């Protein structure tokens, strides 16, 4: 097991990766959340630069943004998640946790998170 920081430490040994990563070692990246995929793929890049072979990524949750899917495909990183936005919305609707109006607003956010609410 290794731990990958978003950037190298500014003190101590200055490591971005903690733990032992051997040249050619196969690695599965574990994430809590994948939104755009940007920070997740920064970890992938660091592992690859250190000689590791990233064979995939697992995450607890993804919003399912197109940008993330495109970025993962471009980086050749298969992504597997335990749950996703679509499943969350299905449960929220089944359990009457959100109104139809709220669901519509949330879907508008999901389609354009950067421009939502403007």
Asked whether residue 65 is domain-assigned, the answer is: yes
Q: Domain holding 54: CATH number?
A: 3.40.50.2020
Asked whether residue 99 is domain-assigned, the answer is: no
Task: Please state the pTM of the whole predicted model.
Answer: 0.85
Asked whether residue 92 is domain-assigned, the answer is: no
User: Ramachandran region of residue 13, left (φ > 0), alpha (ψ -120 to 50) or beta?
Assistant: alpha
Please report the pLDDT score of residue 96 as a whole number: 95
Asked whether residue 114 is domain-assigned, the answer is: no
State how far the Cα of 76 lies from the Cα of 22, in Å rounded to an integer.
Answer: 21
State how far the Cα of 42 lies from the Cα of 37, in Å rounded to an integer.
Answer: 9
Question: Tens digits of per-residue pLDDT, 52-72?
Answer: 999 999 999 999 999 999 999
Asked whether residue 15 is domain-assigned, the answer is: yes
Please report the pLDDT score of residue 78 as a whole number: 98
Q: Looking at the DSSP assignment, which residues form a beta bridge with residue 27?
A: 54
- Extract the tokens encoding 75: 């980086």
State how far the Cα of 108 lies from the Cα of 82, in Å rounded to an integer.
Answer: 24
- How many structural domains is the chain composed of? 1
Decide if 41 contacts 70 (C-beta within 8 A).
no
Asked whether residue 58 is domain-assigned, the answer is: yes
Please report the pLDDT score of residue 116 as a whole number: 75
Decide if 73 contacts 104 (C-beta within 8 A).
no
Please report the pLDDT score of residue 13 as a whole number: 72
Q: Which residues of the chain have a pLDDT value below 70?
A: none
Q: Tell me if residue 72 falls in helix, strand or coil.
A: helix
């Amino acid at each position: 097991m290794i731990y990958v920081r978003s950037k190298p430490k500014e003190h101590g040994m200055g490591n971005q990766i903690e733990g032992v990563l051997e040249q050619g070692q196969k690695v599965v990246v574990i994430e809590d959340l994948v939104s755009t995929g940007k920070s997740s793929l920064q970890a992938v890049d660091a592992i690859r630069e250190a000689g590791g072979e990233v064979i995939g990524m697992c995450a607890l949750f993804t919003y399912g943004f197109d940008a993330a899917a495109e970025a993962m495909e471009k980086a050749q990183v298969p992504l597997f998640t335990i749950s996703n936005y679509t499943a969350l919305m299905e449960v929220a609707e089944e359990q009457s946790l959100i109104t139809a109006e709220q669901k519509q607003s949330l879907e508008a956010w999901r389609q354009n998170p950067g421009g939502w609410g403007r």
